[in-house]
Chain A
């Protein structure tokens, strides 16, 4: 049953089919009309059907009666679905049915049974008729009813199925088009994937390879035939950095398919067909279609070159710092010898030698700073958190800076809230931060000034503030304070030493520890530098170097 269509559309379609020349009903109707005429031994038979308040006939299509108005038809009322059995049309006691003239033929007796579409709509009737008066037997009426029923069924079969078929055909065409679009897209995607630089392998949801691009084949030394359909895990064997083959429960593709999420293996080795290994970074992603995992995609990036460049950088930095330090340590010690025993030098000479020592020390600090920065930037700093008592840490640093504090007659106040717990931080790194803040505060304070250290808890962080009443930072330059090598103008003139590295390095340390850093400052009033560390502590990080 075709649903949702307006009734008269269906009616139109039905009518069209019923009335069609060489339509689907021709042979059926002709056969039925003939049979019923023979069985009931009448002279005339036919099938009529209604449309648009007119009556049409089969056979007799196109004949003089075809399309006569309902009013001129013997069953003038379409709503009347009685069986008609009249042996004498003139003497009709009920006068319900008009005398019938089929063209020139005067019909005296007529019997008819209506047929319907799904018991709803009366479509027409099958009738037999004679010129003479005659009775129609019970059997005759039975046959008429039987054939009317049959016609109902044939119509349903042929009409509705045909309509249904049209709808199906439309749907089929639509799906065909969509399928073609998908196929085209598929072909296009494949063409794109074949050519991209990264090695890419696609698998079904069992991990068997169903696509592999040229880059992957070349990188591994395989032919396409060798890997298609095979298990990814078997053909692309992954090893850890230390040379051990990766276990199944660590395999990125297996985990991506199992846990339905993207899995990355940042540095591992792949075994080529030749037996050599090469360094890669692997990302496996599940392909999810309507909430089902239908396969996986593995992208493999050859990082050999990256690693080489990294290694060269590291070697260069190590070498450079060693080479720079060599003469610096010589100068340091030679000058120490001089200062240790300065008989024969006058005041001025002694001062000069002291200055040389200080300058040299600044250069040493600069080399150290640059080295540390380059290590943090390349992610190679080790972070080793331990439960650290910040009070002890800060007091120790203030202790180390005492000579300078006394020299400038500064007052230093340490205020640490009682509820600040020991937190898990790398004490060497965090010391660097406090040291930098305090050194700056002291350096840029005027004599007899005040430096306050305050540590407290705010939300889920521990905040440390170092406030001074020193030179401050001009508003216009505040945005650049954490830049490498930046020193504000107002201090370069007054305090000549300072490489401009301290805050840059400090910011790197704080951020690598998961914290935030900031400051407030007003020129000639002073600055407050602060940094935060999560109470939960800092995550350990395996690296290659620690900060001195």
Chain B
């Protein structure tokens, strides 16, 4: 069975690009365009890994992390934050709220992101 990846991202283009490479790498992909939708799909579809943006409409990434981990508990499903925000307090807050990693989009190539996802899934 293919592993399932949930992508929570408000930019359609990014969803397309990420979906494409993740599918090519052999994953099943689900997408959501805001935190609320993301939370619903995360709870309903039980993904194996979540790629999460921070700046999202309706419910932002930090709030998603809080609510998701309150429901599911930490250390169950790895959540990788993928964001263009890079302030130390956002990073600290994300990790505190249970994110496994924090990647700044402009610093990562698609290939490296796929490698990272594979590595984290292998570890868990």
Chain A at the B interface: SS class: helix
Which B-chain residue is minimally distant from A545 (CB atoms)? Answer: B88
In the complex, what's the smallest C-beta–C-beta distance from A357 to chain B, in angstroms?
10
Q: Check A333 against B110 for contact (C-beta < 8 Å).
A: yes
Q: Check A329 against B106 for contact (C-beta < 8 Å).
A: yes
Q: A325-B105, A329-B105, A332-B106 are in contact. Are A545 and B11 (CB under 8 A)?
A: no
Say which one of B34-42, B44-52, B79-87, B116-124 lies at the interface with A. B79-87
- B-facing residues in A196-238 (Cβ within 8 Å): none
Which A-chain residue is minimally distant from B111 (CB atoms)? Answer: A336
Residues in chain B near residue A545, CB distance under 8 A: 86-88
Q: Check B17 against A334 for contact (C-beta < 8 Å).
A: yes
Instruction: Give Cα distance in the complex from A49 to B20, angstroms.
Output: 131
In the complex, what's the smallest C-beta–C-beta distance from B104 to chain A, in angstroms?
7
Which B-chain residue is minimally distant from A317 (CB atoms)? Answer: B87
Q: A322-B55, A330-B13, A330-B14 are in contact. Are A337 and B110 (CB under 8 A)?
A: yes
Instruction: Give Cα distance in the complex from A334 to B13, angstroms.
Output: 9
- A-facing residues in B96-120 (Cβ within 8 Å): 104-107, 109-111
Against B, the Cβ 8 Å flags (1 = close, 0 = not) of A293-337 are 000000000000000000000000010011001101110111011
Q: Check A318 against B13 for contact (C-beta < 8 Å).
A: no
In the complex, what's the smallest C-beta–C-beta distance from A547 to chain B, in angstroms?
10
Q: A332-B106, A364-B106 are in contact. Are A322 and B13 (CB under 8 A)?
A: no
In the complex, what's the smallest C-beta–C-beta distance from B107 to chain A, in angstroms?
6
Which B-chain residue is minimally distant from A330 (CB atoms)? Answer: B13
Q: Check B104 against A548 for contact (C-beta < 8 Å).
A: yes
Q: Check A548 against B86 for contact (C-beta < 8 Å).
A: yes
Q: A322-B55, A333-B14, A337-B110 are in contact. Are A544 and B87 (CB under 8 A)?
A: yes
Q: Check B85 against A337 for contact (C-beta < 8 Å).
A: no
Q: Check A336 against B13 for contact (C-beta < 8 Å).
A: no
Q: Check A318 against B85 for contact (C-beta < 8 Å).
A: yes
Q: Check A328 against B87 for contact (C-beta < 8 Å).
A: no
Residues in chain B near residue A544, CB distance under 8 A: 87-89
Against B, the Cβ 8 Å flags (1 = close, 0 = not) of A347-390 are 00000000000000000100110010000000000100000000
Q: Check B106 against A322 for contact (C-beta < 8 Å).
A: no
Instruction: Give Cα distance in the complex from A334 to B109, angstroms.
Output: 10
Say if the beta carbon of A546 comes within 8 Å of chain B. yes
Residues in chain A near residue B17, CB distance under 8 A: 330, 333-334, 337
Among B11, B21, B85, B104, the residue within 8 A (CB) of A330 is B11
Residues in chain A near residue B87, CB distance under 8 A: 318, 544-545
Among B11, B21, B106, the residue within 8 A (CB) of A367 is B106
Q: Check A546 against B88 for contact (C-beta < 8 Å).
A: yes
Q: Check B88 against A336 for contact (C-beta < 8 Å).
A: no
Residues in chain B near residue A321, CB distance under 8 A: 84, 86
In the complex, what's the smallest C-beta–C-beta distance from A313 to chain B, in angstroms?
13
Q: Check B106 against A336 for contact (C-beta < 8 Å).
A: no
Q: A334-B17, A367-B106, A548-B107 are in contact. Are A326 and B88 (CB under 8 A)?
A: no
Instruction: Give Cα distance in the complex from A328 to B11, angstroms.
Output: 13
Residues in chain B near residue A340, CB distance under 8 A: 110-111
Known: A367-B106, A544-B87. 20 other contacts (CB 8 A): A318-B85, A321-B84, A326-B11, A326-B84, A328-B106, A329-B105, A329-B106, A330-B14, A330-B17, A332-B109, A333-B109, A333-B110, A334-B17, A336-B110, A337-B17, A337-B20, A368-B106, A371-B86, A545-B86, A548-B107
Closest 6 CB pairs of A and B: A325-B84, A329-B105, A364-B106, A545-B88, A333-B17, A329-B106
Task: List 30 interface pairs A-B (beta carbons < 8 Å), by A numbering.
Answer: A318-B85, A318-B87, A321-B86, A322-B55, A325-B105, A326-B84, A328-B106, A329-B14, A329-B84, A329-B105, A329-B106, A330-B13, A330-B14, A332-B105, A332-B106, A332-B109, A333-B17, A333-B105, A333-B110, A334-B17, A336-B110, A337-B21, A337-B110, A340-B111, A364-B106, A364-B107, A367-B106, A371-B86, A382-B88, A548-B86
